[in-house]
Amino acid sequence: MRAAVLGWLGRWETVLAACVIALLIVAYATTPGFADGFNIANSISLMSEKSLMILPLALLIITREIDISVASIGGLSAVCAGIMLRDGHSAGIAVGVAIVVGLCCGAFNGFCVTVLGLPSLVVTLGTLALFRGLCYVLLGGTPVTVIPTSLIDFGNNNISGTYVPLDIVPFVVLAPLVAITLHRMPTGRRIYAIGGNPDTARYSGVHRSKIKFGLFVVSGLACSIAGVISIGRTSQASPDGLLGYELDAITIVFLGGVSFLGGRGRMSGVVWSLVLLTALRSALQLHNVSAYAQGTAVGVLLIFSLLLSNLARVVADKLGTRRRRRTPHTDARPTLTGVGAPG
Which residues in 90-129 contact other proteins (CB under 8 A)? 112, 116-119, 121-123, 125-129
Site string for other proteins, 201-220 (x = CB under 8 A): xxxxxxx-------------
Pairwise CA distance, residues 165 & 170, whole Å: 11
Site for other proteins in 42-71 (CB under 8 A): 66, 68
User: What does the DSSP assignment read for 48-108?
Assistant: HHHHHHHHHHHHHHHTT---TTHHHHHHHHHHHHHHHHHTT--HHHHHHHHHHHHHHHHHH
The answer for 185, left when phi > 0, alpha when psi is -120 to 50, beta otherwise, is: beta
When computed from its CA atoms, the radius of gyration of the chain, rounded to whole angstroms, is 20
Residues 6+ apart with CB under 8 A from 253: 54, 57, 58, 61, 265, 270, 273
Q: Of 207, 175, 206, 228, give the one whose Cα is nearest residue 52.
A: 175
CB of 340 vs other proteins, minimal distance in Å = 3
Site for other proteins in 259-278 (CB under 8 A): 260, 263-264
| CA 162 remoteness from chain centre | 26
Interior angle at CA 152, CA 148 and CA 156, nearest 5 = 170
Residue number with CB closer to other proteins (17 or 298): 298
If binding is defined by CB under 8 A, does position 293 make contact with other proteins?
yes
Pairwise CA distance, residues 284 & 279, whole Å: 9
CB of 227 vs other proteins, minimal distance in Å = 18
Residue number with CB closer to other proteins (40 or 206): 206
If binding is defined by CB under 8 A, does position 342 make contact with other proteins?
yes
Site for other proteins in 177-196 (CB under 8 A): 180, 184-186, 188-190, 192-193, 196
Among 141, 161, 173, 288, contact with other proteins (rule: CB under 8 A): 141
Pairwise CA distance, residues 319 & 311, whole Å: 12
Among 86, 89, 287, 325, contact with other proteins (rule: CB under 8 A): 325
Among 150, 296, 315, 317, contact with other proteins (rule: CB under 8 A): 296
Site string for other proteins, 8-47 (x = CB under 8 A): ----------------------------------------
Residue number with CB closer to other proteins (147 or 211): 211
Among 130, 164, 286, 312, contact with other proteins (rule: CB under 8 A): 130
Among 11, 86, 287, 329, contact with other proteins (rule: CB under 8 A): 329
Query: Whats the size of the chain, residue-wise?
Result: 343
The helix (H) or strand (E) run that includes residue 22 is helix 12-30
Number of residues that bind other proteins (CB under 8 A): 83
